[in-house]
Structure 1
Amino acid sequence: MYKHSHVLFVAQESCISLCYDPSGLPFVVKTASDLSDEINTLSILANTGGHENLVSMVHNFTTNGKLHLVIEYCKDGDLLTHLQKTNRLNVSQALLYFRQIVNGLACLHKHGIAHRDMSLENVFLHDGKCKIGDFGLSCDANTIRGTVGKPMYMAPEVVIGTHSYDPKRADIWSLGIILFIMLTGVPMFSIAAKSDKLFRAVHRQGIYPILRICLKKGYMTQPLCDLLSNMLVVDPSHRISIEAIVDKLSTFE
């Protein structure tokens, strides 16, 4: 059915390959022994009409005890690779991408799904459009299942293993880290834990002193500074929601 071209990425429990259908159209095929959570998320999204800022599933099938998930191919790669070529994005370009990422995440949260692995590596580009992908750690937003995600993007409550954290609020922290890196070209922390010197300062003083420095350097505008200060809040109960982010972005020029 699909002609294998080459392996794109090998993870601990899965293999991702570029394949072509009989008509020559490219697709990504993810193969693993268990893709049930990811297929469930993509099926929910497909049944609700999908979203232009979320990578969509074409179909899935099983061979020799392995599950194969066929998803759309984003020809321009991931946002991290793009950012490594440009170092950082100007405010207008960062906002263009960020609005699209927010719209995709808002769709997930609207349907009760937390991504739990939001990162530059999991945002893909196709003809200038951002699409959130890799739903391997996604789950029902009411389900909490341990410490997951990439350390650089993990919310503090996820890092310390809080048993009752809200995964949607954790997504917002990760989203804030994505925006910060797009604007500055550098990560904020190696990990949001007290072992990180900068995070210790943020834990004591809040995020605004760091954002004020970025503002003075011209990396961001005051509205973006204010938005990030509401996203990167150590206490998740005071962290802004995705709906409020959408509302705030509607007031930006």
Structure 2
Amino acid sequence: MIEKKSVGKKYEYYLNDKLGTGSFAEVVKGKNKKTDEVVAIKIIKRSVLAKYGDEIMNQIQLEVKILQQLASLSQQSMCPFINRIYEFLETANNFYIVLEYCNQGTLYDQIKKVKKIEEKEAIFILFQLLQALSLISNNNIAHRDIKPENIFIKDGVYKLGDFGFASQKSLYQTHLGTFPYMAPEFFNSDNYNTKVDVWALGLLTHEILFGEIYYIGRSQFEVQQKILTKPYLLNDRKYKISEQFKNLLYKMINKDQKTRISAQEALMDPIFDFCKNDPRYLDIMKAEKLNQHFEENSEQVEQISLLEDEDKLKKELEQQKKKEQKEQQELQEYQKLQQEKIISEKNQFIQNGIKGIKEGILDKIAGITLMVQLADYLNENIQQLCRFEILYILKQAAILIQQLKDRLEQQAILGKHDHVKIQFDCEIWMHFYEDRNLLQFIDEIEEVKNQIKKKYIDYVNIINYFSLINFPTEHHKIESIANLNLTKPIDLQLYQEQLFLKMQFLKQDSLKTENQFIKQQIDKCILWMYAAYEFQKLCSGELFDIKRFIQAIINDDVEEMKCLTLK
């Protein structure tokens, strides 16, 4: 049998009637024992809050204060479009926020079912929610987390709820929210106003109209950059709504908060004229008036009942306190185990990420050192044909290894543009930079750089001497490119044109010769020169599986080298 629990003397709920779960609270379906009215009860455990510190406790108290204020304002202003609070109760172990129950779930549930909502219905929904925004902004309240999950539906009425991130003017510098709905001023300004909610409601309306989240990305950083830079446009054919509605959305999703329309101004748009006479809206307002009259009478009856049952309530609270203490003990033990598990998994995730970064960087270094092997091979086999290319390859390798060292020293994040195998979240990179092995890593790169530099200088001397003896008329050309400034690259187009011609020359020789050994050696030279020709792809991991290619070199397996030239 499922246990039934009481909240004070007035409310009760069953443990299996959960409506939702958050970071430090859960919401259950309950009822008012005296009136049988169904309610939603938000249960916040003190033990869970303790680990978040005073800041979360203060935010919950602020949420309750704002909800109580809005409950009163909603009655005064006849605004049924805010999810109302009925009571706030405390026990030794828990806080309880008793809220209006919305029997049709959330707007998020509705989107999952229908994907898109037609224009006229979307306008009617927006009309209701703008009234909620108008009420809260008139009282200097910013909701700060408007999204489909926080729009509740009760008997066809759309209600703004979950004020867990809400604040009043004194806290407007705190940046909170759900990324795809956060206004630009959250990221580029220290101050903002209640118009952040108009921006979010505009994007929510876009979502229900077209079945898409406009600002979406693979990371929070990518979403932030799109919000700051990507214009909101509805020029595509898929955005089939009236120009009048498009113009209103443009005014709401305006990156400049100073010129962005307010909720009050939006409600004056003629697009909402039909809503004011819609039979559904008239019925909503009529029901709200009757409900207020009923609540006033109920409050008078409850005040008398409270006095009569005060002693009984104390006894029930004592019994409940004992039960909750036992539950708290069990929960603490469970949470401790869960926390240890989370920490262990997190550490493993970080270590795996650091290992992946190291492997990616080592793979990039392997690609650069393979370029040096290319230069060695060309020097040993076809020096007289590839003098210019040998120096070019070594110089590019020295530049690339220096760039890699500089970026690691500056803690600049490497990504797919640097190497296809290096793509990790910022958090993993931050842990990598704090890893004590990073300095050793940089020292090793410095050593590789010095070896390449020395080899480059040696080859300059060898090739200068070789060209002076064998090609005195072309010697000045070698001297002009063989400078020791390793930060200055050689002209790429000139290098690639010459190397391509030499590859064509060798290919013709391969076709002419019938000696298989000579043919194999020529083919091998062509493959090495092709690798040199595509050195940028080589060092990004796009052209070769470097480890397999090196193994093919060691094994002198020309066929294996061929299959790796196009990954």
Shift in CA distance, 236/62, structure 1 to aligned 2, threshold 3 Å: same
| Cα separation, 2, equivalents of 1:241 and 1:127 | 28
**Does 2:28 correspond to 1:17?**
yes
| Aligned match of 1:67 | 95
**Does 2:127 correspond to 1:99?**
yes
The structure in which a higher percent of residues are helix is 2
| Cα separation, 2, equivalents of 1:90 and 1:234 | 26
| Aligned match of 2:63 | 38
**Does 2:208 correspond to 1:182?**
yes
Under a length normalisation based on structure 2, what TM-score does the superposition of the two structures give? 0.41
Mapping 1:87-236, distance limit 5 Å: 87-158=115-186, 160=187, 162-166=189-193, 168-190=194-216, 195-196=222-223, 199=226, 203=229, 206-207=231-232, 210-213=233-236, 216-217=237-238, 219-236=240-257
| Cα separation, 1, equivalents of 2:270 and 2:148 | 20
Contact 1:112–1:141, Cα closer than 8 Å, also in 2: yes
Q: Which moved more, 1:223-232 or 1:139-148?
A: 139-148
| Cα separation, 2, equivalents of 1:101 and 1:251 | 12
| Cα separation, 2, equivalents of 1:189 and 1:138 | 22
**Does 2:13 correspond to 1:4?**
yes
| Cα separation, 2, equivalents of 1:20 and 1:135 | 22
Aligned-residue offset at 1:142:
4.4
Aligned-residue offset at 1:31:
1.9
Amino acid in the other structure paired with 1:138 = A
| Aligned match of 1:81 | 109
| Aligned match of 2:84 | 56
Q: Deviations over 1:190-218 (max 9, x none)?
A: 26987249937x836x32xx3122xx435
The structure in which a higher percent of residues are strand is 1
Aligned-residue offset at 1:242:
1.1
| Cα separation, 2, equivalents of 1:47 and 1:36 | 17
Shift in CA distance, 10/196, structure 1 to aligned 2, threshold 3 Å: closer
Aligned-residue offset at 1:49:
4.1
Q: Larger Cα Rg: Structure 1 or Structure 2?
A: 2
Contact 1:154–1:174, Cα closer than 8 Å, also in 2: yes
Matched position secondary structure for 2:95: strand
Q: Which structure is higher in RCO with an 8 Å CA cutoff and minimum separation 6? A: 1
Q: What RMSD over aligned residues (CA atoms) do the two structures have, in Å?
A: 2.3
Matched position secondary structure for 1:237: coil
Question: 5+ unaligned residues in a row in structure 1: which ranges?
Answer: none
Matched position secondary structure for 1:155: coil
Under a length normalisation based on structure 1, what TM-score does the superposition of the two structures give? 0.88
| Cα separation, 1, equivalents of 2:208 and 2:155 | 18
| Cα separation, 2, equivalents of 1:161 and 1:19 | 43
| Cα separation, 1, equivalents of 2:42 and 2:215 | 31
Amino acid in the other structure paired with 1:164 = N
Q: Deviations over 1:30-69 (max 9, x none)?
A: 1224421111111112232432000111111101242211
| Aligned match of 1:27 | 39
Question: 5+ unaligned residues in a row in structure 2: which ranges?
Answer: 1-9, 47-56, 275-567
Residues paired across the two proteins, number: 245
Contact 2:63–2:163, Cα closer than 8 Å, also in 1: yes
Amino acid in the other structure paired with 2:19 = L
